[in-house]
Structure 1
Amino acid sequence: MPPTPASPASAPDADRTGVDRAGQVESRGIDCVPDDERHGSPRELFMIWAAPNVSYLSLVVGATLVLIGLPLGEALALIVLGNLFWLLTGFIAISGPASGTTGSVVSRAIYGVLGNKVVVALTGWLISALYLALNWSAASVAGIGLTGRLGLPDSPALDAVVICLIAGATLLVAIYGHATIVRLYPALTVLLTVVFVIVAGLVLGHADFSWSPAEPLTGTAHLVALASGLTLVASAPLSYANSPDLARYLPRDSGRAAVALWTAAGAFVPSVVFTTVGALAATSLDMSDPQAALESVMPGWLVPLFVVCVVLNTVANNGMTAYSAGLSLQSIGVRLPRVAAVLVVGAIGTAMTLFAILVFDFLTAVNTLLELVVVVTGPCMAVYATDVVLRRNRYDGAALHDLSRTGPYWYRGGVNWAGALATLLGALAATLCVSSTSWAGPVSAALDGLNLAIPVGVLGSAALYWGLSRALGTLPARATRAS
């Protein structure tokens, strides 16, 4: 039986009056935002993206660059280079105001109605759940440490309580949704920046700016460290394909450059600053245990405040991730209201966090996930950005909700094979070229562990999508019209 056409009004939340006010639960799901409900300006995107990236995880990643043996100057250069990938995150954000819907719906134009369900199921909520677990793990490590300082007994039960409390606060932000995020995140950005800048000042007071590794890396080992470092830094911006979700309420005529640059700058600036601080910290502190190392240079009164800010940063970061993951769950056809979808994703992420904290070492979990996940997120981001270029950012939000066989995004058998093959082959190539502490692809292994997942996956997928769109006769201009 053929699928029935679906319009924006058929989304699970669409029978409720559109509400996007701070302090009220957002009523819209993946349905299109009408022009008369659009509001805000691109400038608000800076603070939305800054709050998640004034981050403890950035400190950990920066320290890792030094711990793997890179000279300080090279580590700092990689920090800037890897964070330039935030420009891709900003660039795809422009599809939000153009379509009035979420990135997980816009990608139906890339993969087709049925193909999109498979891709979004993997990248939109499974990988989102992994990132929820990663960030909750970081906050939980800090929170669990604070309970020890308060004299509470060390036990798995207490650890589980800490994790669940942090997860609960995060999901509350995701449930209230877009307008609450827009109102709340500027205040969080200011608070987090003040505290993290104080910590940065203390770290800089101990940093060894002339530091160099005792045994400098040479030859292939040096190239391997450089490639691994770039992968670690770039993995964060390459994971945020949800930027259209946070921009979709902006007026349709919002400047494309403004949307892209305010989004990118909001993430780029704090990421560069605090990843740099993490690298400098590792020149004099034992950052194999990041929390203990940072606390060693803080006065006693600052430690609990810093831990609270680590938790708040996680709430900001995961609040955004859980929000978009709930929308992604709706876009693959799960007939749940947005709030219920958020809770499902949150439950999966919480379970993963409990497993990671109670079973695995935190730093090992961070490095392994960040090094491996780019084999999927890099190609997906590259194909999305290429589609925006090919379509000149012309997306018809109503047509994107037409799931019928006669709809413009049914393509052949419900799949746009240009997008599906470009992403699949790009991910396969990246997998062959990836390297981590736990696994290396055959190409990487033959090159003594050189990690080429990002250049191969990103550039290869973009080129394949561009070529296959023409070779298969699925040029985007034939399937869309300007709204």
Structure 2
Amino acid sequence: MLKQVQHDGEGIAPAFEDRTIQQIPLDRRHGRPRDLFTLWFGANLTTLTIATGALCTTIFHLSLAASIFAIVFGNLFGAIFMALHAAQGPHLGVPQMVQTRGQFGARGALAVIAFVALMDVGFFATNLVLSAQSLHFALPAATPGISIAAVALIGTAATIFGHDLIHRFTRAMVWLAGIAMLACFVVLLWRYPHTDLFAGQPMTIAGLLGAISTSVLWQVAYAPYVSDYSRYLPPETGQRAAFWTSYWGCVIGSIIPMLLGAWLGSLFPALDMSQALAAGTGALGYVAIPILTLSIAAASAISLYCAVLATIAIIQTFAPAWQARAKARTILSLLLAAIAVVMALFAGPHFMEAYTNFLLLLLYVMVPWTAINLVDYYLIRHGDYNVASFLRADGGIYGHYNGVALFCYAVGIVVQIPFVANGLYSGPIARMLHGADLSWIAGLLVVSPLYYVIARFKRQGAAW
């Protein structure tokens, strides 16, 4: 077993992490709640977050004032679910997808875990494509192939080292990317001091709801792996501290770049994000883009790390005696990164649009999962789980399959279909609402009470 080394009173010095999906023992717990704040704050300071904010003014055609409301409200609301998952880490000490076996059963959880692994490899590939486009614009000598390889290499290296280095990477981005983004705001305010907050096309309810949903889903996307980064904290950290530090880190870290994107989108609606940043901030944009690209590498490491843990959980389901350690994480990191690089290198001209729609469809299958997980953890079991059963071949006290969770999960997917609205499919209710996507609301409102009632009924000894 690799030894951990104390480092200047700051916790554990970065070294090869030797654990993967096993429960973190008490003598290996370390860190402070504020580490979660810097992790999620730094991870969101990227050009992808800026581009997401620009959707408010360029795609949903909102005024800057309406965009500010949608971004702030959507992130404040969506981060509640994200942070509730983060609070589970210090208590249970296992990755989120392993804990999911407590609701769905050892094999019943496989579909959810597979979706998460696929989603995170996709996020990694999407980040590579976007970073290549941005870096090539700022530094023409950095061809797309070179840019993709560079960002993939940095993100993969951080994943191989593991948990502690990823924390330190994002902490550095808080300062580097944070200063760059603040400078962009200052320059924009100096160059465009009289921006009309209410200019633009007349606001539509569909546009406002679409912008809010985008911000909500941005936060919900973190839910499947947010506790992967809080599981090393000592149990005495407490759920409240883990919740609030994760919540405000992700909320503030998301709102700032999204507001920058919405402002740039209102000023330069016909330009892509790199061009808009350069047009709005001049020479500063050519400095900020490489820094924000480095921040994308940090965010990519977060996604790849989760994909690796999810893949290990899938394999371990069929090989329960396997104790995956640093070597397994290294091999799988390289393999999954290679898949993402191939996807990015062979991406067509409309890759970002098509794959974003695909990722949104994957998020739709995550909404009923998050409802089931949170209701089960906070309202049914109150955090009381048999962690040893998570890693047993037969699922321990949770068995292979949990019919209640699987039934509610299926209902949650079906009930969202009429409300879905994206480039791949629009349901009948979404069309009636002129393209407003309210699928996540339907999923949460139906699945949460449904699972609570049936699960409580079953636990009280009634027949299922």
TM-score norm. by structure 1 comes to 0.85
Counterpart residue number, 1:332: 314
Does structure 1 residue 460 correspond to structure 2 residue 446? yes
1:374 alignment partner AA: L
Distance 1:369 1:201 in 2: 36
Counterpart residue number, 2:18: 27
Distance 1:321 1:229 in 2: 24
Counterpart residue number, 1:232: 214
Distance 2:218 2:281 in 1: 28
Does structure 1 residue 121 correspond to structure 2 residue 110? no
Q: 1:276 aligned to 259, 272, 279, which one?
A: 259
Counterpart residue number, 2:281: 298
Distance 2:253 2:182 in 1: 10
Q: Deviations over 1:412-433 (max 9, x none)?
A: xx11122222222212222331
Counterpart residue number, 1:139: 131
Is the CA contact 1:61–1:275 (under 8 Å) kept in the aligned structure 2?
yes
Distance 1:365 1:306 in 2: 27
Shift of the 234–226 alpha-carbon distance from structure 1 to 2, 3 Å rule, reads: same
1:271 alignment partner AA: S
Counterpart residue number, 1:4: none
Counterpart residue number, 1:11: none
Q: How far 1:367 moved relative to its partner?
A: 5.4
Does structure 1 residue 38 correspond to structure 2 residue 29? yes
Shift of the 403–321 alpha-carbon distance from structure 1 to 2, 3 Å rule, reads: same
Does structure 1 residue 172 correspond to structure 2 residue 154? no
1:181 alignment partner AA: I
Does structure 1 residue 72 correspond to structure 2 residue 64? yes
Does structure 1 residue 98 correspond to structure 2 residue 91? yes
Counterpart residue number, 2:392: 402
Distance 2:382 2:83 in 1: 15
Q: How far 1:371 moved relative to its partner?
A: 4.5
Give secondary structure in 2 for the equivalent of 1:29. coil
2:21 alignment partner AA: I
Shift of the 450–251 alpha-carbon distance from structure 1 to 2, 3 Å rule, reads: same
Shift of the 215–96 alpha-carbon distance from structure 1 to 2, 3 Å rule, reads: closer
Q: Deviations over 1:75-114 (max 9, x none)?
A: 1111112112112111111221111111111000011000
Q: 1:374 aligned to 340, 363, 377, which one?
A: 363
Shift of the 332–109 alpha-carbon distance from structure 1 to 2, 3 Å rule, reads: same
Counterpart residue number, 1:316: 298
Give secondary structure in 2 for the equivalent of 1:283. helix
Which ranges of structure 2 fall in alignment gaps of 5 or more residues? 6-11, 317-321
Q: 1:441 aligned to 408, 420, 427, which one?
A: 427
Q: 1:196 aligned to 173, 181, 188, which one?
A: 181
TM-score norm. by structure 2 comes to 0.89
1:252 alignment partner AA: P
Q: How far 1:32 moved relative to its partner?
A: 1.1
Distance 1:93 1:277 in 2: 27
Q: 1:354 aligned to 333, 339, 345, which one?
A: 345
Aligned residues: 441
Q: How far 1:370 moved relative to its partner?
A: 5.9
Is the CA contact 1:228–1:451 (under 8 Å) kept in the aligned structure 2?
yes
Does structure 1 residue 245 correspond to structure 2 residue 234? no
Is the CA contact 1:232–1:367 (under 8 Å) kept in the aligned structure 2?
no
1:467 alignment partner AA: V
Is the CA contact 1:95–1:106 (under 8 Å) kept in the aligned structure 2?
no
Q: How far 1:353 moved relative to its partner?
A: 2.2
Distance 1:119 1:215 in 2: 40
Q: How far 1:126 moved relative to its partner?
A: 0.4
Q: How far 1:22 moved relative to its partner?
A: 3.5
Runs of 4+ in 1 over 6 A off after TM superposition: none
Quick check: 205-214 or 186-195, which moved more? 205-214
Distance 2:346 2:208 in 1: 31
Q: 2:103 aligned to 110, 118, 130, which one?
A: 110
Q: How far 1:273 moved relative to its partner?
A: 1.6
Q: How far 1:446 moved relative to its partner?
A: 4.0
Q: How far 1:53 moved relative to its partner?
A: 0.8
Does structure 1 residue 59 correspond to structure 2 residue 50? yes
Quick check: 76-85 or 457-466, which moved more? 457-466
Q: How far 1:369 moved relative to its partner?
A: 4.6
Is the CA contact 1:92–1:388 (under 8 Å) kept in the aligned structure 2?
no
Distance 1:204 1:466 in 2: 49
1:184 alignment partner AA: F
Which ranges of structure 1 fall in alignment gaps of 5 or more residues? 1-15, 153-157, 477-483
2:416 alignment partner AA: A
Counterpart residue number, 1:425: 411
Is the CA contact 1:94–1:260 (under 8 Å) kept in the aligned structure 2?
yes
Is the CA contact 2:39–2:167 (under 8 Å) kept in the aligned structure 1?
yes
Distance 2:194 2:369 in 1: 39
Distance 1:140 1:342 in 2: 20
Quick check: 165-174 or 69-78, which moved more? 69-78
Give secondary structure in 2 for the equivalent of 1:121. helix
Is the CA contact 2:131–2:147 (under 8 Å) kept in the aligned structure 1?
no
Shift of the 434–355 alpha-carbon distance from structure 1 to 2, 3 Å rule, reads: farther
Distance 1:28 1:353 in 2: 29
Quick check: 71-80 or 240-249, which moved more? 71-80
Q: How far 1:333 moved relative to its partner?
A: 2.0
Q: How far 1:474 moved relative to its partner?
A: 5.0
Quick check: 176-185 or 279-288, which moved more? 279-288
Shift of the 395–203 alpha-carbon distance from structure 1 to 2, 3 Å rule, reads: farther
Give secondary structure in 2 for the equivalent of 1:253. helix
Q: 1:258 aligned to 241, 249, 268, which one?
A: 241
Distance 1:305 1:294 in 2: 10
Give secondary structure in 1 for the equivalent of 2:281. coil
Is the CA contact 1:204–1:281 (under 8 Å) kept in the aligned structure 2?
no
Q: How far 1:392 moved relative to its partner?
A: 1.2
Shift of the 415–288 alpha-carbon distance from structure 1 to 2, 3 Å rule, reads: farther
Distance 1:50 1:248 in 2: 18
Distance 1:87 1:330 in 2: 28
